[in-house]
Amino acid sequence: MDRPHRGPAGPALARGAPMTANQPGTVNILEARGLAKSFGETPALRGASLAVRQGEIVAVMGPSGSGKSTLLHCLAGILVPEEGEVWFGGQRLDTFGDDKRSALRRDRFGFVFQSGQLVPELTAEENVAMPLLLSGTRRGPAITAARKWFSVLGLDGLQHRRSGELSGGQAQRIALARGLVAEPAVLFADEPTGSLDSVSGELVMDLLTGAVRDRGTTVVLVTHDAQVAAYADREVIVRDGRVSTLTGTMP
């Protein structure tokens, strides 16, 4: 990763100490600075700013339509803001072209969405291996890497099942494994328990937080559920397209 940027937030970026497992560092790996984004005549973000430390789990909360998912999509390079800056690892992400942002999402970022979005024609292990296959890893090593996650996430015996043969909780754990299989620097999770019952949701969050803390993975978690947000190190709230701290300390 490139040396941290020393721009307007330079001191916070430059003073990082080495991160230990299970403890966020002090280096800001990801930043949004003054983001504005509209859809037609409707503004979604109005000067939204957020800094996320390396290894930190941040829960982004807010009412429906507040802009929280738009913020996540800008941080992940899925959307490009009309104003403001997005920084990842010392690089200004919002200036990248489509191909470079796609490569970054493939190689450095992982994703878990509310519905899981598994490919129904593929087996569970093929779904998990997909990010590796898309990045050019040969099928054999990719499947081997994927299979390691089945025991980690309590999915042994489900490797050859397709999505129609899985429960909602099982499918979401497969989606979590897919998001983590390439060892991403940042995992973006958009309402990862939104379609699950409370018991399945708690299991997914227990497994998610345990897996990312063991690996020092940074997580940006969008949720409307206070019980899910409680798993995070810090909670922020998006309202009317702006971000404010709800709990915890800003880096």
Residue 185 has pLDDT above 90, yes or no: yes
Report the amino acid identity of residue 88.
F
Residue 194: what pLDDT?
87
Pair 207, 154: CB distance under 8 Å: yes
Considering the domain boundaries, does residue 147 fall inside one? no
Report the amino acid identity of residue 17.
A
Give the model confidence (pLDDT) of 108-148 as tens digits: 999 998 876 899 999 999 999 999 999 999 999 999 999 99
Considering the domain boundaries, does residue 122 fall inside one? no
Backbone angles phi, psi at 10, to 5 degrees: -55, -50
With cut-offs at 50, 70 and 90, classify the pLDDT of residue 3.
very low
Residues counted in the chain: 251
pTM of the model: 0.86
Considering the domain boundaries, does residue 41 fall inside one? yes
C-alpha–C-alpha distance, residues 187 and 24, integer Å: 14
> CA quadruple 216, 222, 227, 232: dihedral positive or negative?
positive
CATH number, domain containing residue 237: 3.40.50.300
**What string of H, E and C letters represents the secondary structure of the chain?**
CCCCCCCCCHHHHHCCCCCCCCCCCCCEEEEEEEEEEEECCEEEEEEEEEEEECCCEEEEECCCCCCHHHHHHHHCCCCCCCEEEEEECCEEHHHCCHHHHHHHHHHCEEEEECCCCCCCCCEHHHHHHHHHHHCCCCHHHHHHHHHHHHHHCCCCCCCCCEHHHCCHHHHHHHHHHHHHCCCCCEEEEECCCCCCCHHHHHHHHHHHHHHHHHHCCEEEEECCCHHHHCCCCEEEEEECCEEEEEECCCC
Residue 199 has pLDDT above 50, yes or no: yes
Considering the domain boundaries, does residue 223 fall inside one? yes
The number of folded domains in the chain is 1
Give the model confidence (pLDDT) of 7-49 as tens digits: 333 333 322 333 444 566 678 999 999 999 999 999 999 999 9
Residue 4: what pLDDT?
35
- Quickly tell me which residue has 């003054």 as its tokens: 34
Report the amino acid identity of residue 10.
G
Considering the domain boundaries, does residue 124 fall inside one? no
C-alpha–C-alpha distance, residues 24 and 46, integer Å: 28
Considering the domain boundaries, does residue 216 fall inside one? yes
Considering the domain boundaries, does residue 30 fall inside one? yes
Per the DSSP assignment, residues forming a β-bridge with 221 are 59, 189
* Share of residues in the chain with pLDDT > 90 (%): 79
Domain containing residue 71? 10-14+24-116+167-247
Considering the domain boundaries, does residue 205 fall inside one? yes
Pair 44, 37: CB distance under 8 Å: yes
How confident is the model over 65-91, as a mean pLDDT?
95
